[in-house]
Structure 1
Amino acid sequence: MRETFHGDLVQLGVELGGMCEHAATAMRRATRALLESDLALAEQVLAADSDLDERRDRCEEQANTLLALQAPVAGDLRAVLAAIHGAERIERMGDLAAHIAAHARIAHPARVVPTELHPAFSRMGQTAADMADRVGELVGGPAQGGHAELVAADEVLDGLHGEVLAHVTASTWGHGPAVAAGLALVARFFERFGDQAVSVATRLEFAATGELPRSG
């Protein structure tokens, strides 16, 4: 019975890892769509978002079945609850990538990001996608210590977010208030993506150790 339970738990981890891969791909494509005004790529991200919703539903159903039929305790219970939390948060990461793609679609054929901010947004996209990849690794392997790595990456995202806000609110900003407001919103989507990844890593480490890691 316990072997069956742990096999099901491993399969649940595989599903969550697939969700992370999906979220990372969505973020990379959404970032490219944003920076390159690529309408087709933006549409791909938006069309694929429903798949992540379905994956979340499957993960939650599997996890709830384990809770109902196996009545796990201690570390096993923490692992199942972490999976439920993770499925919800990773799905939210996909939503945030879709929001970025939607902004690119609405603005098309205009370019959303002025040339001087391309490096900041490009780095935000890469950092966020790498965080999703790292969460996927933590789901399938040792989670202890992963929280600290994700917090460090999130601090990079926070710094880039602040850099964008400082730029669009400076007296030298020359692209108008509407563009500034749009960029502030899009930068917030990247920043929130990172927050969700940290939240998943927090629960995974708690599941592995029984102790909540420090937030800072």
Structure 2
Amino acid sequence: MRDVFQQELHEVQERLVEIAELVEVSIENAVTAFTKSDVGVAEDVIENDVRIDELTLALDELAINILALQQPVARDLRIVVSALRISSSLERMGDMAEHIAQLARYRFPERAVPKGLKSTFAEMGRLDVEIARSLTRLLRTQDIALANQIRDEDDKVDELHASVFDKLLSERWKGEATATVDATLASRYHERFADHAVSIAKKVQYLATGDWAGADDVHA
């Protein structure tokens, strides 16, 4: 029974990595769709989100069965409970990628990126992709250095998010209402994507070190 239990725990961790890999693909494609107004790629992101949702549900069911049948304690219990919370954050990251892609689809054949903010959103997108890649590696290896890297990249996304609002609220902004709404939503989706990654990094850091005080430095 113990061998079966350990195999189930390993499967939980493998499934988290699988979902993270799909999220990584989704944000890469969402950024491409948004910056290049590629409606075909946008549709791929939207379709991929269905798969992410399905895998998240299956993982949650596995974790709940483990709790009910194996009654884990101590670190094993923390792993299973954390997996439930991490899967929820991964699912939300998939949603954020889908929302970004939907903006591209709604505005097609026009570009969703407002004039004057192209470089800002290009950098936000680049950072979100790097965060997703780092997160996948973190879930696979539990290398805590990656948790700190995610936190640092999230700080940069936050700064860019603030700069978008500074520009939208300035007297120099001449964008139409739709452009203002698109920029506001897109900036928020990019920012929330990174925030969920930080939240996951915090949980992984705690599991790896057992030190919540240290993990708390990774702010959600």
The TM-score, its normalising length taken from structure 1, stands at 0.93
| 1:53–1:30 CA distance, 2 compared to 1 (3 A) | same
Match of 1:4 in 2: 4
Match of 1:121 in 2: 121
Check conservation: 1:75, 1:208, Cα contact below 8 A.
no
Match of 1:78 in 2: 78
Check conservation: 2:142, 2:204, Cα contact below 8 A.
no
Match of 2:90 in 1: 90
Check conservation: 2:114, 2:179, Cα contact below 8 A.
no
> Which letter maps to 2:37?
S
Question: 1:36 offset after TM fit, Å?
Answer: 1.1
Question: Structure 2: which 5+ runs fail to align?
Answer: none
Quick check: 132-141 or 12-21, which moved more? 132-141
The TM-score, its normalising length taken from structure 2, stands at 0.92
> Which letter maps to 2:133?
D
Question: Structure 1: which 5+ runs fail to align?
Answer: none
Distance (whole Å) between structure 1 residues aligned to residue 201 and residue 82 of structure 2: 9
SS at match of 1:116: coil
Match of 2:25 in 1: 25
Distance (whole Å) between structure 2 residues aligned to residue 14 and residue 214 of structure 1: 25
Aligned length: 216
Check conservation: 2:138, 2:147, Cα contact below 8 A.
no
Question: 1:191 offset after TM fit, Å?
Answer: 0.2
Distance (whole Å) between structure 1 residues aligned to residue 40 and residue 19 of structure 2: 22
> Which letter maps to 2:162?
G
Distance (whole Å) between structure 2 residues aligned to residue 112 and residue 178 of structure 1: 9
Distance (whole Å) between structure 2 residues aligned to residue 97 and residue 147 of structure 1: 21
Deviation per residue, 1:164-210 (Å, 9 max, x gap): 21222221112223311220111000000011111111111222222
Match of 2:216 in 1: 214
Distance (whole Å) between structure 2 residues aligned to residue 71 and residue 131 of structure 1: 34
SS at match of 2:109: coil
> Which letter maps to 2:81?
L
Question: 1:145 offset after TM fit, Å?
Answer: 4.3
Check conservation: 1:37, 1:108, Cα contact below 8 A.
yes
Match of 1:103 in 2: 103
Deviation per residue, 1:51-99 (Å, 9 max, x gap): 0000101111111121112211111111111111111110110001101
Quick check: 74-83 or 169-178, which moved more? 169-178
Sequence identity percentage:
32
Distance (whole Å) between structure 2 residues aligned to residue 6 and residue 35 of structure 1: 44
Distance (whole Å) between structure 2 residues aligned to residue 35 and residue 139 of structure 1: 28
Deviation per residue, 1:99-144 (Å, 9 max, x gap): 1111111111111113432221122112112212222222222253
Match of 1:174 in 2: 174
Structure 1 residue ranges (4+ consecutive) displaced by more than 4 angstroms after TM superposition? none
1:156-175 → structure 2 map (5 Å cutoff): 156-175=156-175
Matched, 1:53 2:50: no
